[in-house]
Structure 1
Amino acid sequence: MRSALRRAARGIRWYVRELTDESAHDRYVAHVRNDDPGAPVPSRREFERARADRQEEDPRQGFRCC
């Protein structure tokens, strides 16, 4: 019973992270490590700041309501 609840909780957590794009930094880190293991990887804060800047420069990148 507990294993089924844990599995369901993991599935819900994965779904929410993908839906909110919270896992984007994790995917980016995996991509960088795969291409060049010695390359510097930006922190989550640096990554999110750069992503927000890109979205503000090109409105087609991020759908903004305001």
Structure 2
Amino acid sequence: MSVRSALAKARFYVREFSGEAAYDRYVAHTRSHDPDAEVLTRRAFERARTDAREADPREGFRCC
């Protein structure tokens, strides 16, 4: 395995673990279903995601 390949795999796992890839998946999904649809900004997406997570009673309140 080359160093470049190892770094690419590490980057993939870090992005998945941190949730950073969620926005990219959201944009790809939105564009594939309706190319003319308005896509949320990353900030608005993260805000909506946080609000949904905090509103879920199964998660409980989490401050961090």
Q: Does the pair score TM above 0.5? A: yes
TM-score under structure 2 normalisation? 0.85
**Counterpart of 1:58?**
56
**Counterpart of 2:22?**
24
| Moved beyond 4 Å, runs of 4+ | none
* Percent of aligned positions that are identical: 58
Q: 1:29–1:41: 8 Å Cα contact kept in structure 2?
A: yes
RMSD: 2.2
Unaligned runs of 5+ in 1: none
| Number of equivalenced pairs | 64
Distance 1:13 1:7 in 2: 10
Question: Is 1:45 equivalent to 2:43 in the alignment?
Answer: yes
TM-score under structure 1 normalisation? 0.83
